[in-house]
Structure 1
Amino acid sequence: MFELEKLVRPNIRAMQPYSSARDEFQGEARVMLDANENSLGSAGPDRFNRYPDPHQRAVKAALAPLKQVEPGQIFLGNGSDEAIDLLVRLTCRPGQDRILILPPTYGMYEVAANLNDVALERIPLTPDFQLSPEAVAQIVASDAKLVFVCSPNNPTGNLLHAAAVEEILQGFRGLVVVDEAYADFAAAPSWTSRLAEFPNLVVLQTFSKAWGLAGLRLGMAFASGALIGYLNKIKPPYNVSEASQQHALAALRDAPRFEQMRQELLRGRRWLEDQLSGVGIVEQLFPSNANFLLARFRPDATAVYNYLLGLGIVVRNRTTQPGCAGCLRLTVGTPAENEQLVAALRDFKR
């Protein structure tokens, strides 16, 4: 049976969190002289001389009904990367514990492990980038503190089979972190709908992809209220700026724009899939549930990458990733950018 208290590092259970001025006073006041802010105003834009809400209450209140969760089940951070780092620090003792990853996958999981002196256990996906029954059995048997399950996966673009993920959730003794950065492009329900069933489930999402707010650096984590409480306990006090909170609220109020962009990107993905399937140097096009395509090129993907770079077209070379030999990752762009990419690939001379 999963017990969060046993998974959290003892020193974190015992620690007293930092209490900011905005934790100790909330609400409106005529004279605010508690936080050593500049009461004269801002040197730059207005309204930024005061510290932001450390718990981002307004953003969470707007986000909760959209995600069909409670505000207390939401953590907001400096991109999903902050949540990844905090989850590792929350559960893993440096030099003693380890996390589990499923390569090829998002590189920040390994960076967070290395930064925190935490060992890595790697269980590779199959050649078609799925979880084999043997891999699921290995994960369930592992005593790693957490496993990162990226679905849709980066850099491959595919959803991992839900039955395999559910088996991991039922059997793994640590935290199961399902990274859904690209979930808005997938025709599958979010794992946030299963939070009540699995106390060891953490779901990561982001404003960087479908919302088009990569420059804000605003990531989301959804989990039990108890786990979110621990993340809030160990995060920096003002980890999300006032500007990021205000822009996120504006985006959440403009849901039609979000849906319009999402649909346009899905049309662009379908167009690219159709066009690239007829390009001679494309040896294999992998199915995608994200806003990018992974394609295997012949005879030399790096030569294709350098050729595109020479034309001012930047894609991602993934040839060194496990299972991705000869592969480039192609983000869905504007219709004009997609046409430029396909035309350039058709003109490539071997």
Structure 2
Amino acid sequence: MSSLVDQLINDNLIPLKPYESARRLYAGGQDWLNANESPFANHYDVDSSHFNRYPSCQPDGVINGYAAYAGVEKGQLMVTRGADEGIELLIRTFCTPGEDSILICPPTYGMYAISAETCNIGVKKVPLKADFSLDVEGICSNNDVNVVFICAPNNPTGTQVARQDLDTVLRHFTDKALVVVDEAYIEFDADNTWANKLADYPNLVILRTLSKAFALAGLRCGFTIANDDVIAALMKVIAPYPIPDPVAQIAAEALSKENIGRLHAQVDILNAEKARLTEALSAFEEFEMVGDTKANYVLFRYAGCKALMAYLVERGMLIRDQSKQLNLENCLRVTIGSPEQDDRLLQLINDYFSQTGASK
């Protein structure tokens, strides 16, 4: 069978490697601080009386709830199977295989490039500057791309994107390309959303998710926000039944007034815990804090990161090695967990240095 696979597989897929998600890298573990998930597990009720029927393509309860939450019109919104499906749909809809390209700004979220490569779309890269700000001049020098992806706050650096920089990029590409602002972590930097700017930029697209602050990573529910004509084009490509009925029920419930209040309270708790963990990690003279803390994780550099990572994994503490990312050599990313999880992480790091005598 392998010879048949070799014979039939698309040529552009042969050199590709699957995205190394947190679960693919480590299936087990006692404490998962490697996937930017919330430590909160909130309860929801599900009605199974309609499971024998196909679900709505765009469930009213979800669309109405998220449109109200994001402050946009219903026609400016599409719900997808996670923001990852939104990324893929944008590429499939607005790029021609073998001809067009997207632009990304590494170090950044890996699925932009992987989604493009699987569709035989070119990937142009304009790295972030040394301070992880956008290289606006470099981005705007690429006039032959169809979609520009900008993660804000950026994963994995936790940094903001300057509003003036984004404004310049959006205006430069007004009649040339879509500019996609990935706001997966926007609840941790809420004042910097672009969802209220659709009227100013016809080429602006925003990605959102329930996976992070909403504590619903297992639901796989995301949103694409854009002007009506962009949404209408994407609807030509989306699957007929993208959102399972249980997902729609839970998403609609999560968007209730009561649960939005709970969301904000949990974000406040995580931000306070993030500040505590950042201070504690900064106290290790062996560590250099990297980037910023505008999301639900912190990033630090340590010359012995491989040994520390192995020590933590062996003890069921999973964080994320970002060393393969551009300009993030020896960097580890830690998702903000519960106080108990963060305390255990800090204790293990202390134990590591005590037992190994490791240092720079």
For the criterion TM > 0.5, the same-fold answer is yes
Aligned partner of 2:11 in structure 1 is none
Aligned partner of 2:119 in structure 1 is 116
Aligned partner of 1:9 in structure 2 is none
8 Å contact from structure 1 (residues 113, 120) kept in 2: yes
Question: 1:322 aligned to 326, 333, 346, which one?
Answer: 326
8 Å contact from structure 2 (residues 91, 115) kept in 1: yes
Larger relative contact order, structure 1 or 2 (CA cutoff 8 Å, min sep 6) = 2
Q: How does 1:53-64 map to 2 (within 5 A)?
A: 53-64=56-67
8 Å contact from structure 2 (residues 157, 290) kept in 1: no
* 1:130 CA displacement: 0.8
Q: What SS class does the counterpart of residue 332 from structure 2 fall into?
A: strand
* 1:114 CA displacement: 0.9
CA distance in 2, matches of 1:142, 1:329: 34
Aligned partner of 2:305 in structure 1 is 301
* Residue type of the alignment partner of 2:328: C
Q: Name the CA shift for 1:133/1:90 in 2 (closer, same or farther; >3 Å).
A: closer
TM-score normalised over the length of structure 2: 0.82
8 Å contact from structure 1 (residues 103, 322) kept in 2: yes
Question: 2:68 aligned to 65, 77, 85, which one?
Answer: 65
Aligned partner of 1:169 in structure 2 is 170
Q: What SS class does the counterpart of residue 199 from structure 2 fall into?
A: coil
8 Å contact from structure 1 (residues 277, 285) kept in 2: no
Alignment of 1:186 with 2:184, yes or no, is no
Per mean C-alpha deviation after superposition, the further-off stretch among 276-285 and 243-252 is: 276-285
Q: What SS class does the counterpart of residue 211 from structure 1 fall into?
A: coil
* 1:281 CA displacement: 2.3
* Residue type of the alignment partner of 2:205: V
- Structure of greater Rg: 1
8 Å contact from structure 1 (residues 208, 217) kept in 2: yes
CA distance in 2, matches of 1:113, 1:258: 33
CA distance in 2, matches of 1:227, 1:342: 46
CA distance in 2, matches of 1:117, 1:306: 36
Q: How does 1:236-247 map to 2 (within 5 A)?
A: 236-247=239-250
* 1:164 CA displacement: 0.7
Segments of 5+ residues of structure 2 without an aligned counterpart are: 1-46
What percentage of aligned pairs have identical amino acids? Answer: 37
Alignment of 1:77 with 2:80, yes or no, is yes
Aligned partner of 1:270 in structure 2 is 275
8 Å contact from structure 1 (residues 149, 178) kept in 2: yes
* Residue type of the alignment partner of 1:338: D
Q: What SS class does the counterpart of residue 188 from structure 1 fall into?
A: helix
Q: What SS class does the counterpart of residue 329 from structure 1 fall into?
A: strand
CA distance in 1, matches of 2:138, 2:161: 12
Q: What SS class does the counterpart of residue 195 from structure 1 fall into?
A: helix
Q: What SS class does the counterpart of residue 287 from structure 1 fall into?
A: coil
8 Å contact from structure 2 (residues 127, 135) kept in 1: no
CA distance in 1, matches of 2:190, 2:76: 24
Q: What SS class does the counterpart of residue 275 from structure 1 fall into?
A: helix
* 1:56 CA displacement: 1.5
8 Å contact from structure 1 (residues 279, 346) kept in 2: no
8 Å contact from structure 2 (residues 136, 169) kept in 1: no
CA distance in 2, matches of 1:93, 1:208: 30
TM-score normalised over the length of structure 1: 0.84
CA distance in 1, matches of 2:110, 2:348: 29
CA distance in 2, matches of 1:91, 1:192: 21
Q: Name the CA shift for 1:256/1:284 in 2 (closer, same or farther; >3 Å).
A: closer
CA distance in 2, matches of 1:266, 1:192: 22
8 Å contact from structure 2 (residues 153, 186) kept in 1: yes
Aligned partner of 2:285 in structure 1 is 280
Q: What SS class does the counterpart of residue 51 from structure 2 fall into?
A: coil
Q: How does 1:191-270 map to 2 (within 5 A)?
A: 191-253=194-256, 254-270=259-275
CA distance in 2, matches of 1:46, 1:245: 14
Q: What SS class does the counterpart of residue 58 from structure 2 fall into?
A: coil
Q: Name the CA shift for 1:306/1:106 in 2 (closer, same or farther; >3 Å).
A: same
Question: 1:131 aligned to 134, 137, 151, which one?
Answer: 134
> Once the two structures are superposed, what CA deviation does each residue of 1:126-172 show, in whole Å capped at 9, x if it has no partner?
1221113432432xx42100010001001111111111111000002
- Alpha-carbon RMSD: 1.3
* Residue type of the alignment partner of 2:311: Y
Alignment of 1:339 with 2:340, yes or no, is no
Aligned partner of 2:152 in structure 1 is 151
> Once the two structures are superposed, what CA deviation does each residue of 1:85-114 show, in whole Å capped at 9, x if it has no partner?
010011111111111010001000011111
* 1:347 CA displacement: 2.4
* Residue type of the alignment partner of 2:315: L
* 1:59 CA displacement: 1.1
Q: How many residues align?
A: 304
CA distance in 2, matches of 1:176, 1:246: 31
Point out 4+ residue stretches in structure 1 off by more than 3 angstroms: none
* 1:205 CA displacement: 0.7
